[in-house]
Amino acid sequence: MIDPADPTPEKTCLRRWRMAGIFLAVAVAEIGLFLLLGRVRGPAQTSVVEPPPFEVVLYDPPPPISIEPPAPETGGGAPAAPSVIHTPPPPPMERPREVPAPPVKAPEPAPVVGIAPAPSPQPGFGQGGHGTGNGSGVGSGNGPGSGSTGPRLVTGPTIGQIRANHPSGARSRYGRVELSCIIRLDSRLDGCRVVEESPPGMGFGSAGLQVSGFFRFQPPTEDGRPVEGQRVTVGVDFGRPPR
């Protein structure tokens, strides 16, 4: 029986083999445990991100631009018919225009002065007489004339002037006024007074006196001279008279 405390070579060798076996068992246990864990977890999955797809268009490059004129096309078939040129006919020659002759005025008969040789329906020409005489006179003078004339109306009031003086309280009424006035030498009327007013009391008399300033009269004359102071009667109608 071997004593562990005995430091002989056999004990030392046995101790070394025992330590190597323990080390080998531990290594095998770790390797088995590692393999077992790998099977349980499975292979590691790594995520791969794929790039997005893109389209590629392939086309033939355009032919190069040539500065040379294109070659004439050749083909079979019958040759083209020659072109026909249509020439328009020459315009017709213009015939000379006939210029009409100017009308010839018939000769007029010479007028017969004096006694006609025979009676005719047309009026004749008489021959007047001739005389001799010579006279002239120059002078000035002033003398009374003879005869007399009465007054004459030169102008009167217009419709607008009469309407402007129509009494405001009787715009829709017709009225008439007769005035007796004196004719002055300057043709105006003076000293007018109301002779008749219809209808009375509505202001037509005063309106007539206002309108009298638009009258103009030529004064009467005696022996060719105008006379002042002649009295004349004038009438003024305001509105239209009833029918």
pLDDT digits (tens, 9 = 90+) for 50-89: 767 766 666 666 777 777 776 666 655 566 667 777 788 8
pLDDT for 128 equals 45
Question: Is the pLDDT reported for residue 49 higher than 70?
Answer: no
**pLDDT tens, residue by residue, 129-173:** 444 555 554 545 454 555 688 899 999 999 999 999 999 888 889
Alpha carbon distance, N-terminus to C-terminus of the chain: 185
pLDDT for 211 equals 93
- Residue ranges with strand state E in 31-174: 148-149, 152-155
pLDDT for 195 equals 94
Given the structure tokens 């004719």, which residue do they identify? 183
**pLDDT tens, residue by residue, 87-109:** 888 888 877 777 777 777 766 65
pLDDT for 129 equals 45
Shortest CA distance to 169 belongs to which of 122, 206, 210, 129?
Answer: 206
Local confidence band at 192 (pLDDT 50, 70, 90 cut-offs): very high
Q: What is the largest CA-CA distance in the chain?
A: 220
Local confidence band at 212 (pLDDT 50, 70, 90 cut-offs): very high
CATH of 148-238, one of 3.30.2420.10, 3.20.20.80, 3.40.50.2300, 3.40.1160.10: 3.30.2420.10
pLDDT for 185 equals 93
Q: Is 42 left (phi over 0), alpha (psi -120 to 50) or beta?
A: left
Q: What is the mean pLDDT of the chain?
A: 75
- Residue 236: burial class (beta carbons within 10 Å; 0-12, 13-18, 19+): buried
CB 179 within 8 A of CB 236: yes
Q: How far is CA 197 from CA 16, 182, 207, in A?
A: 177, 19, 10
pLDDT for 46 equals 55
Task: Give me the helices (H) in the chain, please.
Answer: 9-41, 159-164, 204-211
Domains of the chain, residue spans:
148-238
| Sign of torsion over alpha carbons 114, 116, 119, 125 | negative
pLDDT for 31 equals 83
**pLDDT tens, residue by residue, 22-39:** 888 888 888 888 787 766
pLDDT for 32 equals 80
Question: Is the pLDDT reported for residue 233 higher than 50?
Answer: yes
Q: Is the pTM of this model over 0.75?
A: no
